[in-house]
């Protein structure tokens, strides 16, 4: 902490403190600096220290502290206005707005006092000659706060009608307030239209677009613009996360989570800011925060999680129901204080309405890691939870409203005969009702169906139940179906890995059903059931060898079994859905066998046929597995169009019947295919869905992390840096080298570093890039290591860490040299030269580094072995000469000796001339580089007092762009959109240089 010895050191200390994070520590330092200012005995120093204190209080949770320094400043102004300079005079009047709004947010300040200060502000502004715009804006805030809509509308209109002047809030803040009022009045679309310039970056300030992004969340949800709402949450939360003063905006993001099925993320947000529950320096934002805490906690209680542990005020543990009660009591007590002050019930009504909101979206996937609360996961995983199941046929109304057993039986039989989803559940309902109704005795056939479907529902545990079903079918006089049930039991054993035992178990049913069928003792469906069971068991032997070379005898036996099935069924299906499904499944088995036999083309054709047959039969949900397999084969064969078609079909046909993990896998594959053809926006949508469904399936740390990795990459490709950063940070929490590979971890860190760099978070960007470089350091191929080291050096330099940046560039240079990459080496040397120039007495080191860069280019040129490499090295040499010239010119500005300056500028001009000569050798392809160097040389000529030479260079540039069509040809040849602008800029600068040279001649 620097010592305060004079006014300049005080100003430096205040500037340093202003760069610190918002919060009590910064405020305490501002208070200390005021004491230091008073010791200097300089009135303006005290005024500036008071202004600094006001600013840090305003941008913190201790806004209530503003009033004392403001009152002191105002008294000083009234007593000695001459002690205020122009800036502090402006600041004093500007802060009136902070104080008036600050009073409004403090319920202990009487409304009469607020109105008095509003009148005082209007009087002072009129005396200073300021517009009434800021005054009317403040009046609008008062009226809107107390719920006086009529006065608010009048003040709002007057605000917009008054002229903008230096006291008006910045465009961004004004647009936020104007849009907020429209949203409050239910005009969401108008609000968003007003906010557009802020959201698009046309206007910004210290708190914008932060608050606009937060305020836009609920209006976007109400309008159904869900993609934008998601993006605004990810982008906006990143902006407010570290800003203590933005509790109100933070509350908007918690509210968004509660209204979109993202309760778990809402809890994460609460956990990040425990002080928000109790900080009382700004009561109004505390009221807003506590209101959305109630909303979130009551939503958790609705989901059956009233007893879940949740983050809350420090000092004890909280459950959702306990925190809901506590936050409600605190919020309503605060609201009552405001209403007592205001003489209305408006604040309490708004708080209650906010707490009582209902979800606007059942679940809006965000792409970031946040496990859904347990009861919600269970509900989503329940059969038919993702979408309504086909409704059973309506039962006739009964006097007792009791279900009709006959109706349930008929419906269950229909579902099973047509292979519809939920047949298992239908037969279970039949079984339950039969047990509940006294005197009901089901027939053996019905009991057999119940047992059969119960066994299906039991999965790997169903073998014994299938055997029981076989006994019941036999009792019902259907020996063929009894044998089919025994075959199903055998197949269950095969699924458990007991393949030899399963084959032994199916042998007898197989022999008997063929004999029975030959004698006319059973029908095709029953015989097909046994043959399908045997074929499935033989296919299990093939599956057991997955990834290995399968014995040809195993393949041949399985194929024979499948073809035997098809010979029995094919052409006999008619309208029997079950037989048609056997045919389709048989073709799918042949597809698998073809792929195992090394014939993926035939496999793809057969999978396509099987899927088509299932769809034609009206069983699209059975086609999904084979469409997914077809997609994989098509991808392997390089037929990306077919892969994409098959994946889309699988998602469409799976409908509500796909399990969450299957849906995640299909979306992720489709994201990769679509992204591979450059459609990053649609690919991001599929990766987002993949992450969502992976989380629903409980596969967040595995499949979900990979989906987030992919999603982040697709967002990076679209330049959506803030959203990508949130997603990638979330992915990194679960990505591991063991599960996902160290390449995925490095790529995610790399992308995140790019995002943070674009967002201006250079220190964090450097950290991410260094972490990635450390992993890549151990790879056999070192190009990624070198690139990451170089990028980390860039970030360190942009973060102001010059020593660390130089070390990183030096390391990158060594790596580039080891790889034989002269371009990387030269660029690292140039970067180090520029860093050296920023260090005191670093000019000579900077010159040496740039000279080494020139030498490296020249040495590499001598060893280049092809024309393309030589051309690239020539271009690199030209850019190095150009930068050398710029560096020398920059260094001369620091030298007070005229002769030395002239000598340095001459040297810089020499380097520029070298650059021009190099670029001339490259011809038309380097025209822009050449003209840029020519203009730089021309300005140096003017600095050296050589107007004729400067004018000649300007004319050279104009001749290069003399013909507009030639310029257009240049643009077309390079294929860059900014070419036309470059041409215009070069010509304009050449005209300026020419004019400057002519004026210099005349002097």
Tell me the pLDDT band of 979, cut-offs 50, 70 and 90.
low
Q: Is the pLDDT of residue 935 over 80?
A: yes
User: How high is the pLDDT of residue 380?
Assistant: 41
Give the Cα separation of 987 and 974 in Å (integer).
18
Q: What is the mean pLDDT of residues 423-433?
A: 92
pTM of the model: 0.83
Tell me the pLDDT band of 384, cut-offs 50, 70 and 90.
very low
User: How high is the pLDDT of residue 99?
Assistant: 83
- DSSP label of 637: T
Crossing angle of helices 479-495/463-475, nearest 10°?
180
Q: What is the mean pLDDT of residues 170-185?
A: 95
User: How high is the pLDDT of residue 489?
Assistant: 95
Q: Is the pLDDT of residue 388 over 60?
A: no
For residue 310, the SS3 value is: strand
User: How high is the pLDDT of residue 575?
Assistant: 87
Does residue 493 contact residue 505 with C-beta atoms inside 8 Å?
yes
Each residue's pLDDT tens digit, 395-404: 333 334 456 8
For residue 309, the SS3 value is: strand
Does residue 789 contact residue 811 with C-beta atoms inside 8 Å?
yes
Q: Is the pLDDT of residue 443 over 70?
A: yes
Q: What is the mean pLDDT of residues 802-830?
A: 94
CA nearest to 845, candidates 891, 911, 883? 891
Give the Cα separation of 940 and 670 in Å (integer).
57
- DSSP label of 316: S
For residue 208, the SS3 value is: strand
Q: What is the mean pLDDT of residues 345-361?
A: 96
Q: What is the mean pLDDT of residues 303-317?
A: 94
Each residue's pLDDT tens digit, 51-79: 999 998 888 878 888 888 988 998 998 88
Tell me the pLDDT band of 378, cut-offs 50, 70 and 90.
very low
Q: What is the mean pLDDT of residues 26-37?
A: 92
Each residue's pLDDT tens digit, 707-743: 999 999 999 999 999 999 999 999 999 999 999 999 9
Each residue's pLDDT tens digit, 123-167: 999 999 999 999 999 999 999 999 999 999 999 999 999 999 998
User: How high is the pLDDT of residue 896?
Assistant: 55
CA nearest to 379, candidates 273, 497, 261, 278? 261
User: How high is the pLDDT of residue 396?
Assistant: 37
Does residue 941 contact residue 950 with C-beta atoms inside 8 Å?
yes
**What's the token pair of residue 240?**
């407010």
With b meaning 16 or more CB within 10 Å and e meaning fewer, what string describes 179-207? Answer: bbbbbeeeebebbbebbebbbeeebbeeb
Each residue's pLDDT tens digit, 773-793: 999 999 999 999 999 999 999
User: How high is the pLDDT of residue 393?
Assistant: 36
Give the Cα separation of 106 and 62 in Å (integer).
11
Q: Is the pLDDT of residue 244 over 50?
A: yes
Residues of the chain with pLDDT > 70: what percent?
Answer: 93
Give the Cα separation of 270 and 774 in Å (integer).
34
Residues of the chain with pLDDT > 90: what percent?
Answer: 74
Give the Cα separation of 674 and 669 in Å (integer).
9
Scanning the structure block, which residue is given the tokens 């029995």? 568
Rounded to 5 degrees, what are φ and ψ at 371?
Answer: -65, 140
Each residue's pLDDT tens digit, 444-459: 999 999 999 999 999 8
Q: What is the mean pLDDT of residues 666-689?
A: 94
Give the Cα separation of 201 and 198 in Å (integer).
5
Burial of 865: CB neighbours in 10 Å, binned 0-12, 13-18, 19+: exposed
Quote the mean pLDDT of the chain.
90
Q: Is the pLDDT of residue 391 over 80?
A: no
Each residue's pLDDT tens digit, 867-904: 788 888 899 999 999 999 999 999 886 555 678 888 89
Name which residue leads in pLDDT, 105 or 1003: 105
User: How high is the pLDDT of residue 869?
Assistant: 84
List, in order, residues 6 or more apart from 430 with CB less than 8 Å away.
Answer: 405, 408, 409, 412, 442, 446, 450
CA nearest to 628, candidates 609, 641, 647? 647
Each residue's pLDDT tens digit, 456-502: 999 889 999 999 999 999 999 999 999 999 999 999 999 998 999 99
Q: What is the mean pLDDT of residues 503-526?
A: 95
């Amino acid at each position: 902490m620097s010592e305060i010895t004079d006014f300049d050191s005080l100003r430096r200390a205040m500037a340093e403190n202003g760069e610190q994070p918002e919060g009590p520590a910064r405020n305490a330092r501002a208070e200390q600096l005021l004491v230091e200012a008073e010791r200097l005995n300089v009135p303006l120093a005290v005024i500036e220290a008071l202004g600094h204190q006001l600013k840090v209080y305003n941008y913190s949770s201790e806004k209530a502290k503003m009033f004392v320094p403001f009152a002191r400043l105002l008294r000083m102004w009234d007593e000695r206005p001459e002690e205020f300079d122009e800036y502090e005079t402006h600041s004093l009047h500007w802060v009136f707005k902070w104080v008036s709004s600050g009073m409004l947010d403090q319920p202990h300040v009487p409304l009469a006092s607020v109105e008095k200060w509003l009148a005082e502000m209007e009087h002072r502004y009129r005396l200073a000659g300021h517009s009434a715009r800021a005054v009317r804006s403040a009046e609008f805030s008062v009226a809107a706060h107390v719920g006086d809509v009529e006065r608010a509308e009048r003040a709002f209109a007057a605000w917009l009608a008054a002229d903008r002047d230096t006291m008006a809030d910045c465009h961004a803040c004004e647009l936020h307030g104007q849009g907020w009022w429209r949203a409050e009045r239910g005009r969401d679309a108008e609000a968003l239209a007003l906010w557009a310039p802020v959201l698009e970056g046309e206007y910004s300030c210290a708190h914008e677009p932060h608050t606009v992004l937060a305020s836009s969340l609920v209006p976007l949800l109400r309008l159904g613009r869900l993609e934008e709402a998601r993006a605004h949450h990810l982008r906006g939360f990143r902006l407010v996360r570290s800003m203590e003063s933005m509790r109100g905006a933070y509350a908007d993001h918690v509210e968004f989570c509660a209204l979109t099925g993202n309760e778990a993320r809402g809890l994460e947000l609460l956990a990040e800011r425990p002080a928000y529950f109790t900080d009382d320096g700004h009561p109004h934002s505390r009221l807003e925060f506590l209101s959305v805490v109630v909303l979130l906690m009551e939503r958790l209680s609705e989901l059956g999680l009233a007893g879940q542990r949740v983050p809350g005020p420090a000092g004890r543990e909280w459950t959702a129901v306990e925190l809901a009660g506590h936050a409600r009591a605190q919020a309503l007590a605060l609201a009552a204080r405001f209403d007592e002050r205001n003489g209305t019930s408006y604040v309490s009504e708004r708080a209650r309405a906010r707490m009582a909101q209902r979800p606007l979206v059942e679940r809006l996937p965000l792409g970031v890691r946040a496990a859904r609360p347990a009861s919600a996961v269970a509900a989503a995983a329940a059969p038919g939870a993702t979408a309504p199941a086909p409704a059973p046929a309506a039962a006739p109304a009964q006097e007792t409203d009791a279900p009709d057993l006959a109706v349930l039986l008929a419906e269950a039989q229909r579902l099973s005969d047509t292979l519809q989803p939920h047949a298992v559940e239908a037969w279970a309902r039949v079984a339950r009702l039969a047990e509940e109704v006294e005197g009901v005795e089901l027939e053996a056939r019905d009991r057999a169906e119940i047992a059969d479907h119960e066994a299906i529902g039991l999965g790997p545990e169903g073998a014994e139940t299938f055997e029981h079903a076989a006994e019941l079918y036999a009792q019902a006089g259907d020996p063929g179906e009894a044998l089919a049930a025994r075959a199903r039991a055998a197949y269950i054993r095969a699924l458990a890995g007991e393949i030899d035992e399963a084959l032994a178990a199916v042998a007898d049913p197989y022999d008997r059903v063929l004999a029975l069928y030959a004698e006319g003792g059973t029908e095709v469906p029953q015989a097909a059931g046994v043959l399908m069971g045997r074929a499935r068991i033989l296919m299990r032997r093939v599956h057991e060898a997955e990834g290995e070379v399968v014995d040809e005898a195993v393949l041949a036996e399985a194929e024979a079994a499948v073809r035997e099935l098809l010979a029995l069924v094919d052409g006999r299906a008619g309208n029997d859905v079950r037989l048609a499904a056997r045919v389709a499944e048989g073709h799918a088995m042949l597809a698998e066998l073809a792929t195992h036999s090394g014939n993926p083309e035939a496999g793809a054709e057969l999978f396509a046929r099987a899927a088509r047959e299932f769809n034609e039969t009206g069983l699209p949900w059975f086609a999904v597995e084979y469409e997914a397999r077809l997609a994989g084969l098509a991808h392997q064969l390089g037929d990306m169009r077919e892969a994409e078609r098959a994946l889309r079909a699988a998602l469409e046909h799976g409908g509500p019947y796909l399990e969450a993990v299957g849906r995640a896998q299909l979306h992720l594959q489709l994201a990769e295919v679509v992204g591979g053809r450059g459609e990053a926006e649609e690919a991001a949508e599929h990766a987002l869905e993949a992450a969502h469904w992976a989380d629903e399936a409980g596969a967040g740390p595995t499949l979900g992390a990979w989906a987030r990795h992919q999603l982040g990459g697709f967002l990076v490709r679209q330049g959506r840096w803030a959203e990508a950063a949130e997603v990638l940070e979330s992915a990194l929490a679960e990505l591991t080298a063991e599960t996902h590979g160290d390449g995925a971890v490095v790529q995610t860190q790399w992308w995140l570093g790019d995002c943070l760099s674009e967002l201006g978070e250079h220190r964090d960007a450097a950290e991410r890039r260094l972490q990635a470089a450390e992993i890549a350091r151990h790879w056999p191929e070192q190009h990624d290591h070198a690139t990451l080291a170089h990028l980390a050096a860039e970030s360190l330099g942009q973060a102001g860490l010059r020593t660390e940046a130089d070390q990183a560039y030096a390391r990158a240079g060594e790596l580039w040299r080891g790889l034989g990459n002269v371009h990387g080496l030269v660029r690292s040397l140039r970067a180090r030269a520029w860093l050296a120039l920023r260090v005191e007495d670093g000019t000579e080191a900077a010159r040496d580094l740039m000279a080494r860069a020139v030498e490296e280019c020249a040495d590499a040129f001598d060893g280049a072995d092809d024309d393309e490499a030589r051309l690239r090295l020539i271009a690199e040499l030209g850019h190095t000469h150009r930068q050398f010239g710029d560096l020398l010119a920059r260094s001369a500005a620091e030298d007070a000796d005229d002769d030395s300056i002239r000598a340095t500028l001459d040297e810089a001009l020499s380097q520029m001339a070298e650059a021009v000569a190099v670029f001339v050798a490259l011809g038309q392809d380097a025209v822009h580089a050449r003209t840029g160097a020519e203009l730089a040389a021309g300005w140096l000529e003017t600095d050296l007092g050589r107007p004729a030479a400067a004018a000649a260079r300007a004319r050279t540039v104009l001749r290069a762009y003399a013909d507009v069509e030639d310029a257009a040809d240049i643009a077309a040849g390079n294929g860059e959109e900014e070419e036309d602008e470059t041409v215009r800029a070069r010509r304009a600068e050449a005209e300026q240089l020419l004019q400057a040279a002519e004026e210099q001649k005349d002097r």
